[in-house]
Amino acid sequence: MKNFIGSSRQSLREAKNKFVENYFQLSITLTQSPYKILLRNDSYKILFLLSHMRSGSSLLTHILGSNPEIIGYGETHIQYFSEEDVQQLMLKIYLNVPEFRRIKDLKNFRMNHRYILDKVLHNNKFLDHSFLTSENIYVIFLLREPQRTLNSILDLKSHWSEEKALLYYSDRLKNLEMYAQIINNLDRAFFLTYEQLLNSTDLVLEKLQVFLKTEHPFTENYKVFKTTGQPGVGDSKENIKAGQILRHSRELSTHVSSTSIELAEKAFRDCVRTLSNYCCLI
């Protein structure tokens, strides 16, 4: 009897999951515009958080994704060959974020969010840059000062050399400059630093609401998602599970040379200068 009940529950669970998958698949793919879904007049806006590793991007992702008008969970690792891949993003987000365990979860079929969020930290994800000029694409650029960033990268990637960490950071910042120049629109590009997020939190959150024109405000308390802390999605350290901004830093045992820090600081200054010219600021 127990085996029968267990088997029945498993069959129902599989049928439910298949129904959910088919529902989102049909809603998203049976439209001509990659930014639209069936039975909805308004187009989605795609919100990219463009940053580098160890920038505090997981924290900002959780703050953004906790707003009911935004749906997303972190890095999807999608490679964007064209704007048509936006549909792939929508499908991946809607299959991973909403819960369908209780009757009240049926509201998650509404798909009434304004923004679909993806976090991109690496240069090999945008294989075509032209879609960044679309009026449906919004970008938040996030930077962190190099000394803590490089040490944190090496703490995370213990198999990396100091030279590899520096090359990643410098090359990534150059690409962020390029993306801002391609977008070239203060209404669709926003720039902040991790230090601003920690030290001027209220102002940053107010500016984000103005930039994204959301009805709901942002707060420093955020939801912990089912993907929170998973490797490959975002920060796998325990702090991200706190559900609020923590302003103390972990002790790191890595120490980057002054030469590498000087080179990284130049890349940081150059990137800040460019982003300040092409983005909405705090």
- Residue pLDDT, tens place only, 108-165: 899 999 999 999 999 999 999 999 999 999 999 999 999 999 999 999 999 999 999 9
pTM (2 d.p.): 0.94
All domains of the chain, ordered by start, with CATH?
2-278 (3.40.50)
| Confidence at residue 100, expressed as pLDDT on a 0 to 100 scale | 83
What per-residue confidence (pLDDT) applies to 108?
85
Question: What is the pLDDT, as a whole number, of residue 138?
Answer: 99
Amino acid identity, position 7: S
pLDDT at 7: 66
Q: Write phi, then psi, for 40 (nearest 5 degrees).
A: -140, 125
Per-residue pLDDT tens for 192-205?
A: 999 999 999 999 99
**Residue stretches of the chain with pLDDT short of 50:** none
Letter for the amino acid at 123?
N
For residues 264 and 260, what is the distance between their CA atoms, to the nearest angstrom?
6
| Model pLDDT, residue 226 | 84
**What is the reported pLDDT for 13?**
84
pLDDT for residue 3? 61
> What would the two tokens of residue 158 be?
């213990």
Residue 281 burial (CB count, 10 A): 12
Longest dimension (CA), the chain: 70
Please give the backbone phi and psi of residue 206, each rounded to the nearest 5 degrees, phi first. Answer: -65, -45
Q: Which two tokens stand for residue 112?
A: 């009434």
Q: Residue 273: enclosing H or E segment and its boundaries?
A: helix 258-278
pLDDT for 6: 59
Rounded Cα–Cα distance for residues 237 and 112 (Å) = 32
Per-residue pLDDT, 104: 83
Length of the chain: 282
Tell me if 59 sits within 8 A of 67, measured CB to CB. no
Q: What is the pLDDT of residue 2?
A: 58
